[in-house]
Amino acid sequence: MSAQVAVVTGGASGLGEFIVRRLHAEGYRVAVSDVDDSAALAAELDGTGATARSYRVDVRDRAALQQLLADVVADFGGVHVLVNNAARTQATPLMEITPEELDAVMAVNFTGTFAACQIFGAHFADQGYGRIVNMASLAGQNGGTATGGHYASSKGAIMSATKVFARELAPRGVTVNAVSPGPQDSPMVRAIVGEDSLESFAENIPVRRLGDPAFIARMVALLASPEAASVTGACWDANGGLYMR
């Protein structure tokens, strides 16, 4: 049997890149999907295209997601895992968020994730197997602090959608789970918090440190594995103790 195929949206950089690298290292053939060019990452992982390929896709476009599924199946012969990682992050003050900005953030973060769950979920259900991992956020659980209210709201909606799709697809051999990171040691967090404020910011985290994106990628890979068959509708937290339940 050929290695399983995983699609990672927003996979060209940031946390998505960590996830792509982890899955590829574990033997998955990886489709790196991003609105930005992901060809360099795919070529670095496998210049032949046998185990890594890039796909330029805007998750706001449902037809583009449908084409992504068709292209990956044509290129790799199938698909088994979807990681919904594509996201738009903005830290606009709550009362200054315009309707246009709200729509733009929700279109990427929530609508894109929901549509991908429908499109890939139906395909997985038809084949009797699949793994979907949605990237949530601490902001969706506690309302957010450094991020914008629209971002926090979209991530809360993703956690609800995870449960809805998990319940729908469970009898068909498809699991749907979420991973909810707190602040990570990443360029995005450093930009939002500011390098001069990082130390004091970390002091307010119970474990006194930012998270490790490589560990988040390991969590995603575990949920994406065939062995994770009994885990569905779950949200795995990694927030340094900022939110406990």
Query: 81 in a domain, yes or no?
Result: yes
Angle at 108 between CA 36 and CA 110, to 5 degrees: 145
Alpha carbon distance 35, 6 (integer Å): 17
Query: 208 in a domain, yes or no?
Result: yes
Query: 87 in a domain, yes or no?
Result: yes
DSSP 211: B
Query: 14 in a domain, yes or no?
Result: yes
What pLDDT shows up at residue 78?
98
Query: 79 in a domain, yes or no?
Result: yes
Alpha helices by DSSP H, listed for 26-111, are: 39-45, 62-76, 99-106
Pairing of strands 5-9, 235-238: unpaired
Q: Which residues are catalytic?
A: 151
What pLDDT shows up at residue 216?
98
Query: 244 in a domain, yes or no?
Result: no
Query: 214 in a domain, yes or no?
Result: yes
Q: What pTM value is reported for the model?
A: 0.96
What pLDDT shows up at residue 130?
98
Domain tally for the chain? 1
CATH of the domain at 28: 3.40.50.720
Residue 78: Cβ-neighbour burial (10 angstroms; 0-12, 13-18, 19+): middle
What pLDDT shows up at residue 205?
95
**Residuewise pLDDT in 10s, the chain (245 residues):** 579 999 999 999 999 999 999 999 999 999 999 999 999 999 999 999 999 999 999 999 999 999 999 999 999 999 999 999 999 988 899 999 999 999 999 999 999 999 999 999 999 999 999 999 999 999 999 998 778 999 999 999 999 999 999 999 999 999 999 999 999 998 877 887 888 888 888 999 999 999 999 999 999 999 999 999 999 999 999 999 999 99
**DSSP string of 135-189?**
E--THHHH--SSS-HHHHHHHHHHHHHHHHHHHHHGGGTEEEEEEEE-SBSSHHH
Q: Which domain holds residue 28?
A: 5-238
Query: 243 in a domain, yes or no?
Result: no
